[in-house]
Amino acid sequence: MRREAPTERWPRPTVVGVLNVTPDSFSDGGSYGSTVDATDAARRMLADGAELVDVGGESTRPGADPVSEEEELRRVIPVLEALAGCPLSIDTSRAEVARRAVALGAVLVNDISALRREPELAGVVAEASADLCLMHMQGEPRTMQVAPHYDDVVSEVASFLEERLAFAVGAGVAEERVCLDPGIGFGKTPEQNLELVRRLDRIVSIGRPVLVGLSRKSTLARVVDGPRAKVGTDAASVGAAVAAFDRGATLFRVHDVRSHVEALAVAAAIERGTVRV
């Protein structure tokens, strides 16, 4: 029996497991050498409490080059087919990849380009009545970390997300199916990333659920281990996720699912003042 996405879009907190079926993603690239390895990892994430597993076939790490549509499909389709009936999202900016993914059961399209790479992706989402996540990124993965500049990073990211939300709704996507991602690590300095989390309430005030992808980001590594550190620890990731939850974030895209599920469950209980909902 298929497990549907949460009926409340989306309850706080919702943990989304990261499954990169790529050779070069910054943290887990190359970890899943076969479809069996990838599907086993996805099932472990779901058993550990993830509401969704986000499957991606194109690395978006700083400096990454794009791959062809054919290669992206070659990577993700066998995994999506093997996970039929599981709650999945697809991490893609391509309309055809999204079309194939939602046909195979993906319930959310996670687009780091916010419909700028292929605007026709909006029609795919609207036709399928899927959910959509729009992310802010300055530049593109290959160049985004080359001297990113903002006069006010929070105001500029918020304005961008408001504009892309309006574009998506104008293209037929139901507003209640859209969530927003400020794009931690995508064209921002470590200080700008921290500022986005510190003032996350401005992004939350747009009125759509906010997704954060803080897990293992280099900003966390630099806080803990200095300017040359590259990959944050899971402990640092959990701390950042709880800080984002306290500032209103709803969805959390993570690598170590169980530790985030448990920490965020406690944070939510404290916010509610009760042990269980």
Encode burial over 172-183: b for 16+ CB neighbours within 10 A, e otherwise: ebeeebbbbbbb
What is the C-alpha separation between 191 and 36, in angstroms, rounded? Answer: 39
Q: Which of 253, 258, 272, 276 is an active site residue? A: 253
Query: Please, what is the Cα angle at 26 between 24 and 29, to 5 degrees?
Result: 40
Is there a contact between 138 and 161 (Cβ–Cβ < 8 Å)?
no
Q: Is 217 a catalytic residue?
A: yes
What is the strand order of the sheet 251-254 is part of? 178-181, 131-135, 108-111, 88-91, 52-56, 14-20, 251-254, 211-212
Q: Which of 99, 217, 222, 247 is an active site residue? A: 217
What is the C-alpha separation between 206 and 50, in angstroms, rounded? Answer: 26
Is there a contact between 87 and 49 (Cβ–Cβ < 8 Å)?
no
Query: Please, what is the Cα angle at 55 between 49 and 59, to 5 degrees?
Result: 130
Query: Please, what is the Cα angle at 219 between 149 and 62, to 5 degrees?
Result: 65
What are the residue numbers of the active site?
Answer: 217, 253
